[in-house]
């Protein structure tokens, strides 16, 4: 079996030296275990977070750990009646070609679910559920309100934007570059898109949010969020989902918090696993919306385990459109 382990804790931007490829022979299966061949491994910003020590919502990776990641794959051998050979499963098996896992730690992917297995790593998986939790539990957009989403062409942002649109809100997506902005309007159906890399970003944002901002779904933090804060309406809601602009550098100057006082905005950080009681119903709803065409998604797919470090480094600076995956099959 080939796997990628965490080799070196990066101090600034991640480079390939953070990763090492390792070959190993897997042991025999024990009762209750299955051998899974991963078809897709997930590339996510939180993997950068797990490379850091310090207080967080999850334990950091140790040097030598397989890179933590959600996966979908196929049961090759089974010592569990619950998961016969050939079953497609989702789990957290990390960046490796195969893995042995206890059947109870895996989730069966329905053969007739109406969505592709890889969607369980994206719009019908952790990113989709994250969007659902932040928007439904904190953002709570009402019809006619203006919802702004940052990193809107990404895995979480694209679902958050479409959920807001389905709720009857006016939607504005923020992303880097003209191609992503065109995708946000033409494919995701947003009312407007704003390029945060453009020199006139603040003017574009002001034009796109003429009635102010009622909900800001924040994936990026930093200067982009400062600009959106200047547009908040009274009693705006701000689900703080991520701060990717700060993951590889020292924290940017704090948000324009005076704006939150003036507007009495409600800011709330959240982690998608906070409400595990709602997880399955969120997935069910997302699968249904995808099957109905009310949520569409794109996947950026890199080929082969060797491509994973590069795909990760590229995703952190916007190389992906929609969910970044690596295909192993």
| Sheet arrangement for strand 266-269 | 192-195, 170-175, 146-149, 213-217, 232-240, 266-269
The nearest distance, CB 35 to ligand NDP, in angstroms, is 28
Q: Is 130 in the site for ligand NDP (CB under 6 A)?
A: yes
Q: Are the C-beta atoms of 121 and 94 separated by less than 8 Å?
A: no
Q: Is 167 in the site for ligand NDP (CB under 6 A)?
A: no
Q: Is 242 in the site for ligand NDP (CB under 6 A)?
A: yes
CB-CB neighbours of 2 under 10 Å: 15
Of these, 271, 296, 301, 307, which contacts ligand NDP (CB under 6 A)?
271
Q: Is 154 in the site for ligand NDP (CB under 6 A)?
A: yes
Close Cβ partners of 232 (under 8 Å, ≥ 6 residues apart): 212, 213, 216, 238, 259, 260, 263, 265
Report the chain's terminal Cα–Cα distance, integer Å: 14
Q: Is 91 in the site for ligand NDP (CB under 6 A)?
A: no
Of these, 3, 39, 180, 237, which contacts ligand NDP (CB under 6 A)?
180
> What is the spatial distance between Cα 145 and Cα 167, in angstroms, rounded to a whole number?
10
Contact range with ligand NDP by CB under 6 A, out of 58-66, 73-81, 174-182, 204-212: 174-182
Residues 1-60 that bind ligand NDP (CB under 6 A): 44-46
Of these, 176, 201, 259, 327, which contacts ligand NDP (CB under 6 A)?
176
Of these, 67, 163, 193, 244, which contacts ligand NDP (CB under 6 A)?
244
Length of the chain measured in residues: 329
**Residue 141 corresponds to which tokens in the numbers above?**
């957009």
> Quick one: 155 or 282, whose CB is closer to ligand NDP?
155
**Residue 296 corresponds to which tokens in the numbers above?**
């569409």
Binding site for ligand NDP (CB under 6 A): 44-46, 126-127, 130, 151, 153-157, 175-176, 180, 196, 219-220, 224, 241-242, 244-245, 270-272, 315, 317-318, 320
């Amino acid at each position: 079996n080939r796997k990628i382990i965490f080799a070196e804790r990066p101090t600034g931007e991640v480079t390939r030296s953070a990763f090492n490829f390792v070959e190993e022979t897997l042991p025999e299966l024990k009762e209750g275990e299955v051998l899974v061949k991963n078809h897709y491994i997930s590339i996510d910003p939180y993997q950068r977070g797990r490379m850091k020590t310090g207080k967080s919502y999850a334990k950091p990776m140790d040097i030598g750990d397989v890179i933590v990641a959600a996966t979908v794959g196929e049961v090759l051998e089974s010592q569990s009646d619950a998961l016969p050979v050939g079953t497609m499963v989702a789990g957290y098996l990390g960046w490796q070609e195969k893995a042995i896992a206890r059947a109870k730690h895996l989730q069966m992917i329905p053969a007739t679910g109406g969505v592709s297995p890889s969607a369980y790593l994206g719009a019908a998986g952790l990113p989709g559920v994250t969007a659902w939790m932040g928007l439904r539990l904190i953002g709570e957009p009402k019809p006619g309100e203006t919802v702004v989403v940052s990193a809107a062409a990404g895995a979480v942002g694209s679902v958050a934007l479409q959920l807001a649109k389905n709720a009857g809100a006016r939607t504005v997506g923020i992303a880097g570059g003209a191609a992503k902005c065109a995708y946000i309007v033409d494919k995701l159906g947003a009312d407007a898109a704003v390029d945060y890399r453009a020199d006139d970003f603040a003017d574009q944002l002001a034009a796109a949010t003429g009635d102010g901002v009622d909900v800001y779904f924040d994936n990026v933090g930093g200067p982009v969020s400062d600009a959106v804060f200047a547009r908040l309406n009274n009693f705006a809601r701000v689900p703080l989902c991520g701060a990717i602009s700060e993951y590889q550098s020292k924290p940017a100057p704090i948000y324009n918090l005076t704006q939150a006082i003036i507007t009495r905005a409600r800011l709330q950080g959240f982690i998608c696993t906070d409400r595990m009681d709602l997880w399955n119903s969120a997935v069910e709803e997302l699968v249904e919306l995808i099957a109905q065409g009310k949520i569409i998604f794109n996947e950026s797919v890199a080929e082969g385990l060797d491509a994973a470090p590069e795909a990760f480094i590229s995703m952190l600076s916007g190389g992906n459109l929609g969910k970044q995956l690596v295909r192993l099959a």
